[in-house]
Every structure is written in C-alpha cells, then in structure tokens.
Amino acid sequence: MRRVVCPGSFDPITNGHLDIIGRSARLYDEVTVAVLINVEKSSLFTVDERIDMLQTVTKEYPNVKVEKFHGLLVDFCRHNDIPAIVKGIRVVSDFDYELQMAQLNYRLSGVETLFMPTNPEYSFLSSSRVKEIARYGGDVSGLVPDLVHTLLVERLRS
Ligand code: PNS
C-alpha cells in the first residue's frame, strides 16, 4: 500500500489544494489529507468544519481520507505509517520555504517530501487571499469549490 499525506491548514480548501489532492490520489493508493490543529492561529472555520468541507469536496476520490493532527507532522506520519508528504509548489518562494521544512522533516524522521508543481491556473491562489477577497465582497467563484464558496459567503456575512 503506497501512502502519502497532504498536510495543511485548509482554512478553507481552495481549488489549488484540491488539484494537488486529486493528482496525488491518482499516484498513490491512499492519500490522507491532514488538517493542522493550530491553537496559536485564529481561523475562519473550525477544524471540524474544515474536515467536513474536505470530506465533501474529495468524495469523488475513494482513496482520500481526511484527518486532523496536532504537533509534528512527522509524528503523525509515523503513527499512521505514512512514508511521504506531498507539497504543492506555486512559486519559487514556496520552494525556499518548503525545502527547509522538507530537509528538517527528513532529518527528524526519514519521512520524504515530494514537491508537485501547482497547476498554473492556481499559482496565485492561497486561502488567505481568497478570504481577503471574499471579505471585501470580491468574487471568489472558480477559486474554491462551490460548497466552500457558499459557506465562505455565509460565514463572512454573519
Ligand atoms: O496550509 P499551511 O498552513 O501552509 O500548512 C502548514 C503545515 C500544516 C503543513 C505545517 O505548518 C506543518 O507541518 N505543521 C506541523 C508542525 C511541524 O511538523 N512543523 C515542521 C517542523 S520542521
């Protein structure tokens, strides 16, 4: 069984994340989407809300499951017998940051990191930008799954 993890905050999931998850699901037998529980960072959606959204929008991939984790990602990998992490790379600055993280994670545990170039259609996309645009009434349809779009607009209206 070839397993991989796609980790992140997913606050909320964007079409860029979904593209990386879907492509990973075609390469691996099992993909675990791991949502970080980060008590230090305020978020728009709770971890459980994010998990619900992720489960719904990845329904078409039977080999994708969604979990939450706290602490070190490599500990989550060890506990779940996952030997590799997939990270999407949008721009060169992502690579600078992710390379250090990948090397540290390897040093800590031997867990490998594989970089997947983001679909150019989404190379400008991030959850924070989506939230900022939506907060000021901009149109984020096409940047996030339809369900997320609806929930985002509802949440920011309340
Ligand atoms: O979507 P994000 O916020 O960019 O995801 C970052 C994430 C969750 C992948 C990263 O912060 C992470 O792995 N955090 C867990 C703590 C950890 O293992 N840190 C790495 C030390 S080298």
Between helix 127-135 and helix 146-157 the angle, nearest 10°, is: 50
Q: Is 3 helix (H, G, I), strand (E, B) or coil?
A: strand
Percent pLDDT > 90 in the chain is 97
59 catalytic per annotation: no
pLDDT band for position 157 (cuts 50, 70, 90): confident
Which one of 4, 21, 32, 36 would you pick to mutate in the ligand 1 pocket, going by the greatest count of ligand atoms within 8 A of its CB? 36
Report pLDDT digits (tens) over 10-53: 999 999 999 999 999 999 999 999 999 999 999 999 999 999 99
- Name the active-site residue from 3, 65, 78, 90: 90
d(CA 25, CA 21): 6
Tokens of 120: 């150019």
The DSSP line for 97-146 is HHHHHHHHHHHHH--EEEEEEPPGGGTT--HHHHHHHHHTT---BTTB-H
- pLDDT at 58 (0 to 100): 98
Mean pLDDT, the chain, as a whole number?
97
Question: How many whole angstroms from 14 Cα to the centroid of ligand 1?
Answer: 17
Question: How many whole angstroms from 145 Cα to the centroid of ligand 1?
Answer: 23
- pLDDT at 127 (0 to 100): 97
User: Beta-carbon neighbour count of residue 17 at 10 Å?
Assistant: 26
| 43 in Cβ contact with 11 (< 8 Å) | yes
Angle, alpha carbons 70-74-75 (nearest 5°): 60
Tokens of 57: 């929008």
- pLDDT at 158 (0 to 100): 75
Tokens of 81: 């017998």
CA dihedral defined by 41, 6, 138, 53, rounded to 10 degrees? -90
127 catalytic per annotation: yes
- pLDDT at 125 (0 to 100): 97
Report pLDDT digits (tens) over 98-117: 999 999 999 999 999 999 99
Q: Tell me the pTM.
A: 0.97
